Structure 1
């Protein structure tokens, strides 16, 4: 299957014309699935959700989207605590935790953003036991050879450069369950950097910011992924001033102990 993995659109801080260029690119690639792994808006404003909805309507279908911490109302305590996802539902009319099954794959989305946390940085996310149980139940129903995909905003793997950043809360315990459920691929964002690797035998692909001005040392980019039951290829396609071009590449193969890196470049 072919997956276009986009993240951290941050409508409200989007580069003029970049969304349209990305839509052209995606229609040329013709993916089987488009994934949006959170932070679709900058400040969860109604106009920003309207822009997201218009963007999604022009993408190749099907599209699976999960929220990120920026899709919660920021410093509006009443709205954040009483109706944290009201604007998401009103603006996008999409589930917070969607699932989508197709020929040879299942993709499950979870909402890792939280309205508050027991630490000063409320942008950090978390996975709870009920979410893991749902993932395990859904993927248990698919055919053995299907590619099993989890989509979450917060990271399950950090690159060497980002090792001081935090993983999603309960990452280690969750990865044990994901391995038990034979999840093949986790797609995430949040850090605005693109990289891929293996965590507890599961392939993790992180995407940078696709169209926003909030770049963190890398240009706008998205991941182009090809996957089957034996191989997963992750290509980072970055903006080069005229379009999105290949900038880095990772190849993974399935082994008895889980997935492993076969090759990488860039």
Structure 2
């Protein structure tokens, strides 16, 4: 199967020329699934959700989208605590934790963004036990050879450059449950950096910011992923000013002990 993995669109801080170019690119690639791993908006304003909804409507494949911390009303405490996801539902008409079955895959989304946290940085996310139970229940219906995909906004794996940043809350404990559920691939964002690796035998792919002006050391990019029961390839496609081109690629092969990185390019 072929997956276009986009993240951190930040409508409200988007570059319109990139939005148009990305739509053209995705129609040319013809993915089987488009994943949006959170932060579709910059400040969770109705106009930003409307722009995100218009973008989604123009995509060439089924879309699975989960929210990020920027999709919560930031500085409107009453709205944030009483109706934190009202604008998401009204603007997108989409579930916070969707699931999608397709030919040879099952994709499950979880909402890792929280309206508050027991620390000063409320942008950090968490996973709870209820979410893990739901994931395990849903993926049991998948065919034996299906690719099992989890989509979340916050990272389950950090690159060496980002080791000072925080993982999603309860990541270590959650990964044990995800391994038990035989999840093959976790797709995330939040950090605006693209990389892929293996955590507890599960492939984790992080995408950069697809179309926003909020760069954090890398150009705009998205992940182009090809996956089956035996191999997963993750290619980061970066904007060079004229188009999206391959910038980095990671390969993974299934082994008896879980997924492992493969030597060599894609």
Normalization by structure 2: what TM-score? Answer: 0.99
Structure 2: distance between partners of 1:107 and 1:233: 17
Deviation of the 1:264 alpha carbon = 5.5
In structure 2, the partner of 1:218 is 218
Decide whether the 8 Å contact of 1:249 with 1:264 is kept in 2.
no
1:48 and 2:86 correspond: no
Structure 1: distance between partners of 2:264 and 2:58: 32
Structure 1: distance between partners of 2:8 and 2:43: 12
In structure 2, the partner of 1:34 is 34
In structure 2, the partner of 1:135 is 135
Structure 1: gaps spanning 5 or more residues? none
In structure 1, the partner of 2:172 is 172
Residue-pair matches, total = 266
Q: Is the partner of 1:96 in helix, strand or coil?
A: coil
Structure 1: distance between partners of 2:47 and 2:85: 15
Instruction: After superposing the two structures, state which structure 1 stretch, 103-112 or 256-265, moved more.
Output: 256-265
Note the 1:4-23 alignment, pairs <5 A: 4-23=4-23
Structure 1: distance between partners of 2:195 and 2:132: 24
Deviation of the 1:90 alpha carbon = 0.2
In structure 2, the partner of 1:163 is 163
Q: Is the partner of 2:263 in helix, strand or coil?
A: strand
Structure 1: distance between partners of 2:233 and 2:219: 21
Decide whether the 8 Å contact of 2:30 with 2:61 is kept in 1.
no
In structure 1, the partner of 2:106 is 106
Structure 2: gaps spanning 5 or more residues? none
Decide whether the 8 Å contact of 1:32 with 1:62 is kept in 2.
yes
Decide whether the 8 Å contact of 1:237 with 1:245 is kept in 2.
yes
Deviation readout 1:52-81 (Å, 9 max, x if unpaired): 000000001200000000000001000000
Deviation readout 1:138-195 (Å, 9 max, x if unpaired): 0011111100000000000000000000000000000000000000000000000000
In structure 2, the partner of 1:255 is 255
1:245 and 2:245 correspond: yes
Deviation of the 1:17 alpha carbon = 1.3
Structure 2: distance between partners of 1:200 and 1:182: 11
Decide whether the 8 Å contact of 2:196 with 2:250 is kept in 1.
yes
Structure 1: distance between partners of 2:264 and 2:22: 24
Deviation readout 1:112-160 (Å, 9 max, x if unpaired): 0000000000000000000000000000111111000000000000000
Decide whether the 8 Å contact of 2:251 with 2:265 is kept in 1.
no
Cα pair distance change 1:265/1:216, threshold 3 Å: farther
Structure 2: distance between partners of 1:255 and 1:38: 30
Deviation readout 1:5-32 (Å, 9 max, x if unpaired): 0000000000121111000000000000
In structure 2, the partner of 1:195 is 195
Q: Is the partner of 1:260 in helix, strand or coil?
A: strand
In structure 2, the partner of 1:71 is 71
Structure 1: distance between partners of 2:21 and 2:72: 27
